[in-house]
């Protein structure tokens, strides 16, 4: 009984929210989305990373019903009828698209009407994004940062459990970027599923738990960001007797690279070689380690490496 | 759903200055045309003075019940271009501001989006009809001697026909807006089509087919009053009404198809 309950909790935690299968999209004869498949679990902060023109916005456009795919399929697993799925998702695609001659509040009222949400909640949302004072101001009088924050407020109408941001910091100055990132982090902390498409690595690394790297519409890499970044098995080691440590490391068969970096020795383990075996080996040799750090590859390195391997 | 779509369109339109300007201009011009209806009638007849045709110069004849319904609906139908311009701007704005994308990703289906624009066209038709109805009643009641209820309602059929005509015209404008997506292009095309293209095409068709061209059908719903054109019988053929309804269905179908098939 206890085991079943745990399984049920696990299933709920890992519930799939979106499954994309073999999506293809052509513009004229150019294939812009090429057999793309991925899935997103509930509660993921999922980053879609790729260079400009890699197909991020097109993919999201297809998933949101504004673009048609030529083949493949996708399915949202959200409660309620399929017709209302988009009403349960908050979306900010690139620059926010609002009526310039309407006030911030009126623009949000239109979105609230579409989603069948009462207007009373809008004041709080405008406050959440720091636009309470400017709610009567016309959208065309807003700065880019304010427009982006209004776009974020619009995504939160109806308290959706899934939020999609496509290049949310595009064109913003440093302060604007920081403020939008802070908002996204606040939203992520509420346990919502977030899909964030960006070409800015820093943005993805700071916010996302999982990433999908695409290039020319094709999947290059997908996985948990922490798992992907430790893939190289680069470890920093130091012991009281550094010479003895170095001697044993040279003798170890699964080390690809060994170099000294100041007070530590840096090793790169061969692919498929585990650190646990090395640790046992050193303990067996009576080497007492006082410094062990598994180095992470930077996202930038991983990104560039993946793209170059893909080419 | 209709109430929601109506709310959405109302919010979009009521705060848009251009619509106010066009709406007020339409109202003023309808009133001016009504006042100067006699001069307009004379202008129509100026080029075809024929022997034996008695052209009345009594302004009030045009504005007596029941003739006033035909007179007013015919005269004000010349101003449909202003309402059509509003519809084209309304559609093209959605594309140029990319708000159609935002509306769709927020949960509006493409069909609901089209319905919201149909509602906008319906509301404009209703406004134009109510305006003509009010003007007709006021002016008719002031001018008509020996007023009876029968006189008031004798040619009442021009009111629903005017409504249908306005709606059909606006649906054509809606389709043009959806096809061109740029307001300047759409409005220019509407002008050129109404005043030039159909006339040129008609020139090559010397048969009754030309009576079923889109704008001919629209015009045919409100024929010129007999005191405007000597040969006018002021009778609307049932076939014209049927053609108008077929065109309405066709415009809606094509608009839906255009929206459905295109990436936004």
Are A220 and A54 spatial neighbours (Cβ–Cβ below 8 Å)?
no
What residues 69-108 of chain A have any CB closer than 8 A to a CB of chain B?
Answer: 83-84, 86-87, 89, 91, 93, 96-103, 106
Q: Does A150 touch chain B (CB under 8 A)?
A: no
Please check whether residue A63 is in contact with residue A213, taking contact to mean a CB–CB distance below 8 angstroms: no
**From its phi and psi, is residue A160 left (phi > 0), alpha (psi between -120 and 50) or beta?**
beta
**What SS3 string covers A11-41?**
HHHCCEEEEEEEEEEEECCEEEEEEEEEEEE
pLDDT tens digits, residue range A9-64?
Answer: 555 556 889 999 999 999 888 999 999 999 999 889 999 999 888 999 999 999 99
Decide if B106 and A86 are in contact by the 8 Å CB cutoff.
yes
Closest CA to B190 of B206, B200, B177, B181: B177
End-to-end Cα, chain B, rounded Å: 23
Structure token pair of residue A290? 């006082």
Residue B15's Cβ-side half-sphere holds a number of Cα atoms within 13 Å equal to 19
Return the DSSP state at A90.
Answer: E
Cβ atoms of B27 and B20 closer than 8 Å: no
CA distance A53 to A56: 7
Identify the residue among A28, A61, A66 best suited for mutation to test binding to B, counting B beta carbons within 10 A and taking the highest.
A66
Average pLDDT value for residue range B216-228: 85
**Shortest Cα distance from A32 to chain B (angstroms)?**
14
Q: Which residues of chain B make contact with A61, given a CB cutoff of 8 A? A: 263-264
Q: Where are the domains of chain B?
A: 2-261
> ipTM score here?
0.87
Instruction: Return the residue of A nearest to B9 by Cα.
Output: A110
Which of B8, B93, B105 lies closest to A110 in CB terms? B8
Residue among A61, A83, A114 whose CB faces B106 most closely:
A114
Cis amide prior to B66 (ω within 30 degrees): yes
Range A260-288 burial, b when 16+ CB lie within 10 A, else e: eeeebbbbbbeeebebeebeebbeeeebe
Q: Is B54 helix (H, G, I), strand (E, B) or coil?
A: coil
| Chain B residue whose CA is closest to A26 | B263
Q: Compute the average pLDDT of residues A69-92.
A: 81
Among A93, A99, A103, the residue with its CB nearest the CB of B101 is A93
Nearest by Cα to A186 from A211, A152, A212 = A152
Residues of A whose CB is below 8 A from B17: 101
Three-class SS state of A139:
helix
Q: Do A96 and B17 touch (CB under 8 A)?
A: no
What's the rounded Cα separation, in Å, for the pair B30 and B52?
32
Q: Mind listing the pLDDT tens digit for each residue in B101-151? A: 999 999 999 999 999 999 999 999 999 999 999 999 998 898 888 888 988
Average pLDDT of chain B is 87
Identify whether the C-beta of residue A139 lies closer than 8 Å to the C-beta of residue A100.
Answer: yes
CA angle B71, B76, B81 (to 5 degrees): 150
Weakest-pLDDT range from A129-138, A231-240, B36-45, B234-243 = B36-45
In this complex, which of A64, A103, A106 lies closest to B105 when CB atoms are compared? A64
Q: Give the lowest-confidence range in A39-43, A146-150, B40-44, B255-259.
A: B40-44
Tell me the two tokens of residue A233. 């098995």
**Per-residue DSSP letter, A111:** H
Beta-bridged to residue A289, according to DSSP, are: A239
Q: Which two tokens stand for residue B33?
A: 């045309």
Q: Least CA distance to B263: which residue of chain A?
A: A67
By C-alpha distance, the chain B residue nearest A140 is B97
Question: For B210-222, what is the mean pLDDT?
Answer: 91
Q: How far apart are CA A164 and CA A161, in angstroms?
A: 10
């Amino acid at each position: 009984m206890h085991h079943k309950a745990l399984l049920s909790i696990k299933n709920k935690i890992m519930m799939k929210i979106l499954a994309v299968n073999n999506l293809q999209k052509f513009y004229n004869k150019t294939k812009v989305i090429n057999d793309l498949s991925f899935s997103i679990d509930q509660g993921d902060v999922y980053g879609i990373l790729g260079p400009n023109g890699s197909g991020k916005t097109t993919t999201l456009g297809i998933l949101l019903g504004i673009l048609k795919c030529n083949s493949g399929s996708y399915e949202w697993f959200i409660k309620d009828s399929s017709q209302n799925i988009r009403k349960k998702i908050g979306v900010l695609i690139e620059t926010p698209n609002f009526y310039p001659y309407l006030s911030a509040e009126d623009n949000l009222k239109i979105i609230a009407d579409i989603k069948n949400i009462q207007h009373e909640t809008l004041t709080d949302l405008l406050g959440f994004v720091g636009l309470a004072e400017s709610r009567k101001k016309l959208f065309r009088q807003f700065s880019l940062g304010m427009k982006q924050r209004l776009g974020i407020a619009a995504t939160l109408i109806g308290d959706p459990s899934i939020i999609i941001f496509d290049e949310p910091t595009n064109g913003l100055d440093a302060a604007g970027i920081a403020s939008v990132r802070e908002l996204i982090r606040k939203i992520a902390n509420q346990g919502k599923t977030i899909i964030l498409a960006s070409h800015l690595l820093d943005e993805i690394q700071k916010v996302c738990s999982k990433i999908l790297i695409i290039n020319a519409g094709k999947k290059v890499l997908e996985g948990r960001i922490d798992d992907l970044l430790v893939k190289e098995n680069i470890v920093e080691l130091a012991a009281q007797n550094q010479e003895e440590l170095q001697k044993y490391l040279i003798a170890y068969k699964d080390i690809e690279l060994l170099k000294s970096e100041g007070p530590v020795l840096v090793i790169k383990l061969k692919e498929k070689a585990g650190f646990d075996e090395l640790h046992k080996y050193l303990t067996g040799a009576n080497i007492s380690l006082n410094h062990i750090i598994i180095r992470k590859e930077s996202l930038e390195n991983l990104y560039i490496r993946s793209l170059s391997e893909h080419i | 759903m209709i109430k929601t779509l109506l709310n959405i369109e109302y919010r979009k339109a009521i705060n848009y200055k251009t619509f106010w300007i066009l709406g007020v201009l339409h109202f003023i011009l309808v009133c001016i045309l009504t006042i100067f209806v006699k001069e307009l009638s004379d202008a129509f007849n100026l080029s075809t003075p024929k022997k034996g045709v008695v052209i009345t110069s009594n302004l009030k004849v045009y504005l007596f019940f029941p003739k006033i319904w035909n007179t007013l609906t015919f005269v004000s139908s010349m101003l449909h271009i202003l309402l059509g311009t509003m519809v084209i701007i309304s559609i093209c704005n959605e594309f140029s501001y990319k708000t159609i994308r935002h509306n769709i990703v927020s949960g509006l289906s493409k069909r609901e989006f089209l319905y919201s624009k149909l509602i906008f066209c319906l509301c404009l038709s209703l406004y134009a009809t109510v305006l003509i109805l009010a003007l007709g009643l006021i002016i008719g009641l002031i001018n008509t001697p020996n007023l009876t209820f029968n006189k008031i309602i004798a040619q009442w059929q021009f009111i629903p026909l005017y409504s249908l005509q306005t709606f059909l015209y606006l649906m054509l404008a809606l389709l043009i807006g959806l096809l061109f997506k740029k307001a300047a292009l759409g409005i220019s095309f509407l002008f050129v089509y109404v005043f030039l293209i159909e006339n040129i095409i008609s020139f090559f068709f010397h048969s009754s087919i030309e009576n079923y061209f889109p704008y001919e059908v629209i015009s045919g719903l409100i024929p010129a009053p007999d005191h405007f054109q000597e040969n006018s019988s002021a009778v609307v053929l049932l076939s014209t009404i049927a053609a108008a309804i077929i065109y309405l269905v066709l415009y809606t179908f094509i608009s839906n198809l255009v929206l459905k098939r295109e990436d936004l």
